[in-house]
Structure 1
Amino acid sequence: MIRTLSFLTPGNYPDDDPHTGLEDTLRLFEFGESEGFDGAWIRQRHLEHGVSSAAVFLAAAGQRTSRIDLGTAVIPIGYENPFRLAEDLATVDVLSRGRLQAGFSTGMPHADLLGDLVHDGDWRDYDLSYGRIARLAEHLRGGYLGGPDTVIHSPGNVQRPRLQPHSPGLPGRLWYGGGSLRSVRWAAGEGLNLLTGNIVQGEETDDFVTAQLQQITEYRALASPGHPARVALGRVVVPLDGADRAARARYREYAASRHERTLRPQRMGERSILFAPDLVGTAAEIAERLHADAAVAAVTELRLELPYEFDRRDYTQILHDVRHLVAPALGWSPAAPAVAV
C-alpha cells in the first residue's frame, strides 16, 4: 500500500528565459501541495537547462509552500564541497522547518568539461565517491571541531565550533540514489534512506523488476536495527484521462521513443543497465500495472518522475490525474485536503 506520494520534476527552462521556467516549477510545487502530495523533489543538473543548485531552488520553494516535503534527487556529490553543501542544506532545512529530504549520487555528468572548473585543477585523484557523502552526513550530525576546550569568538558570543545552523533532524532525512547491489549495501551501512527509480543495474538477472526488488531486499536486510530504512521508488507515470487530443499524442510518442531501451539490457561500459517501461495509458490501466509490479508492492513511498520534455500545463494534468484517479487505487490518501490555488 502506498502511504507517501511525491513527484520529481526536472525544472526545465528555455535558454533565453530561465526565469519563466523556474517560476513555473515553483508554481508546480505550490500546486502539488494544494493537491495534497506529500513531497516535491527537484533534480540537480549542471550545464543544462535545469536547476543547477537544488539548495538555492528549494530555499525559494520553502517560502512558497508550508507543508510539503522538499527533496533533491539527486545532487552529484563529486561537484560539491561536503562542508559547504552541508551548511546550505542545513539552512534550507531550518528555513523550511524541517521539510528537506536531501538525496545524493556519486556520478559526475559532463566531468570532462566541468571537473577542472569545479575543483580548480586536477581532481582525478580526489575521493569523489561514497566517502564524500559520508563526510557531509558527519558534518550534519553536528560534531564539534577541535578539542573540548576549542572555542570561537564572534560579536556577542563565545561558542564551541560546529556546522551552523545545526538541524538535528536532517541526518535522518538523507537519501542515496542507488542502482546496484554495491550502492544499496553502502547506503544501508551508512544509515541513509534509499532512492530507487526506473534505471537499475542488472547484475544477476536481465529482468528489471527482479533486479530492483533484489536491491530493495538487500538494502533492508543490511539496514541497522532501529533505522527506518525508508525506500522511495520512482516510476514515470503519465495518465491520459485529463489530457486533450494533442497532449495524448505527445505522451504516446514520448513513450514510444523510449520503449526500445526497455526490451533488453543496455551495455554501458562493463555494466548491464535495465530500464523500466514508462506507464502511459488510462488511470485504470496504470493502476493495474502498478498493482502487478512486485517492486511497487514492496514499498510504501512512490515518487512520480515527470518527463523532461513536457511543460507546466502537462505536469499539472499528470499530477491531478495521478492524485485523484491512480493513487487512491493504490491505497494512498492525502495527509492534507486539497485546496484551491
Structure 2
Amino acid sequence: MTAIRSLSFLTPGNYPDDDPYAGLEATLRLFEFGEREGFDGGWIRQRHLEHGVSSAAVFLAAASQRTTRIELGTAVIPIGYENPFRLAEDLTTVDVLARGRLQPGFSTGMPHADLLGDLVHDGDWRSYDLSYGRIGRLIDNLRGDHLGGPDTVIHSPGNVQRPRLQPRSPGLLDRIWYGGGSLRSVRWAAEHGLNLLTGNIVQGEGGDDFVTAQLALIAEYRRRLPPGRPGRVALGRVVVPLDGADAATRERYRRYAASRRERTLKPQGERRILFAPDLVGTAEEIVERLRADRAVAAVSELRLELPYEFDERDYAQILRDVRTLIAPELGWWPAEDVR
C-alpha cells in the first residue's frame, strides 16, 4: 500500500437559512482547526441554491486570511455557471492573497440548469459550450498572455501597460484540478495536464464494483498524462470514526450511514452511477477497511469528505480522530512545523 503523504478534508459549509453568518464563520473556524491539527489541505464545495457556499472563491479569500499553511481547494466549481475570464481574475486574486496555496477544482455542466440557466446567461445558453471547452478557456486565461497586438496598451491613472489578466499568479496553472468520474473525463483531464480529484461517486462503465471502476479511472488518467507531467491524484472517502463521539452521536452516525447504504448496493440510473460505502466505525475498523481498499492503496493523497448537515463539533471530532487514530496507521504524519 502506498503511504498517505497528503491528508485534507472537504466540507460543504452548511448554514441555517436564517443565519448564514453562523455557518460560514463555523466553516472558517474549521479551516483554522484543520491547520492547527496538521492537515495539509482544506477544500470547500460550491453549491448553488442550497444552504452552502455558493462562491468558493469568495469563501477561500476569507479562509486565506485565517490560515497560513494549508492548501485551499474547491471541489468543485461547476464551470457552466462561470465566465472563464472573470473567474480567472477571481482565482488569481485569491491565490495571491493565499501566497500560492489555492487548489481550484472544476466540473462540467450546470446543476439546476432549468432554474438558473436564464438567470446566469444572456441569450440561448443551451447552445453554449458549458463543458470541457469552457474549462479550456479558463486555463487559457490563466496563462496571462497579453491581449491585442504587440502595440496595444491601456491607460490608467499613473500607468500605461500592455493589457493582460491581472493579478498574475503563474504557478496557479500547475494547481488546477478536475473532478473526474468517467473514463472520458479523466482522459480529458490527463491530456490537458490537470490534476485529478476522484471521490465516492464514479460511473460504472466496466462493471458493478466501485473500487474496480475507480482503479480503472486512476490507471487511465496516469496512462494519458503527458511526459514529464506528474499529475496529482487525490482520492476522497467519507470517513466517520466513532471513537471520540458520545453515545448519542455514535448512534446518529450509524443512522446516517444506514440511510445511505441502499445506494451502494447496485448501479444507479442510466449512467450506472456507483457509490462507495461510507466508512463509519471505530478507528481500528476504518483502518482495516482503508488498508483493504485497492484504490486508496494506489494513491498518496487522501481527502476526507465530511458529511452534509453535521455540525462544527462533529466535524472537529471526525478530523481529530482521523488525525490521531487513523492517518498515522496509513503512513501520514502532520507537517513538521505543527506541534
Q: Quick check: 1:74–1:104 contact (8 Å CA) kept in 2?
A: yes
Correspondence 1:1-341 to 2 at 5 A? 1-267=3-269, 270-338=270-338
The structural deviation recorded for 1:120 is 3.1
Relative to structure 1, the CA distance from residue 338 to residue 243 in structure 2 (aligned partners, 3 Å threshold; closer, same or farther) is farther
The structural deviation recorded for 1:146 is 1.1
The structural deviation recorded for 1:97 is 0.2
SS at the partner of 2:302?
Answer: strand
The structural deviation recorded for 1:337 is 4.7
SS at the partner of 1:64?
Answer: coil
What CA distance in whole angstroms lies between the structure 2 residues aligned with 1:172 and 1:153?
Answer: 31
**One-letter code of the match for 1:78?**
G
**One-letter code of the match for 2:200?**
N
What CA distance in whole angstroms lies between the structure 2 residues aligned with 1:283 and 1:144?
Answer: 53
What CA distance in whole angstroms lies between the structure 1 residues aligned with 2:30 and 2:272?
Answer: 35
What is the TM-score normalised by the length of structure 1?
Answer: 0.98
Q: Quick check: 1:8–1:305 contact (8 Å CA) kept in 2?
A: yes
**One-letter code of the match for 1:332?**
W
What is the TM-score normalised by the length of structure 2?
Answer: 0.98
SS at the partner of 1:256?
Answer: helix
Q: Quick check: 1:11–1:42 contact (8 Å CA) kept in 2?
A: yes
What CA distance in whole angstroms lies between the structure 2 residues aligned with 1:46 and 1:197?
Answer: 20
Percent identity of the aligned residues? 82
* Unpaired runs of at least 5, structure 2: none
**One-letter code of the match for 2:278?**
D
What CA distance in whole angstroms lies between the structure 1 residues aligned with 2:123 and 2:14?
Answer: 30
Q: Quick check: 1:35–1:337 contact (8 Å CA) kept in 2?
A: no
> Number of residue pairs matched?
337
**One-letter code of the match for 2:226?**
S
Deviations 1:114-168 (A, max 9, x none): 0100003431000000000011011111111111221212122221111000101
**One-letter code of the match for 2:98?**
S
**One-letter code of the match for 1:197?**
G
What CA distance in whole angstroms lies between the structure 1 residues aligned with 2:43 and 2:204?
Answer: 26
The structural deviation recorded for 1:338 is 4.0
What CA distance in whole angstroms lies between the structure 1 residues aligned with 2:220 and 2:159?
Answer: 48
The structural deviation recorded for 1:33 is 0.1
SS at the partner of 1:271?
Answer: coil
The structural deviation recorded for 1:42 is 0.2
Deviations 1:157-210 (A, max 9, x none): 221111000101001000000000000000001111000000000001110000
What CA distance in whole angstroms lies between the structure 2 residues aligned with 1:192 and 1:258?
Answer: 31
SS at the partner of 2:181?
Answer: coil
SS at the partner of 1:169?
Answer: helix
SS at the partner of 2:39?
Answer: coil
Range that drifts further, 62-71 or 114-123: 114-123
Aligned alpha-carbon RMSD (Å): 0.8
What CA distance in whole angstroms lies between the structure 2 residues aligned with 1:233 and 1:14?
Answer: 29
SS at the partner of 1:124?
Answer: helix
SS at the partner of 2:273?
Answer: strand
What CA distance in whole angstroms lies between the structure 1 residues aligned with 2:99 and 2:45?
Answer: 21
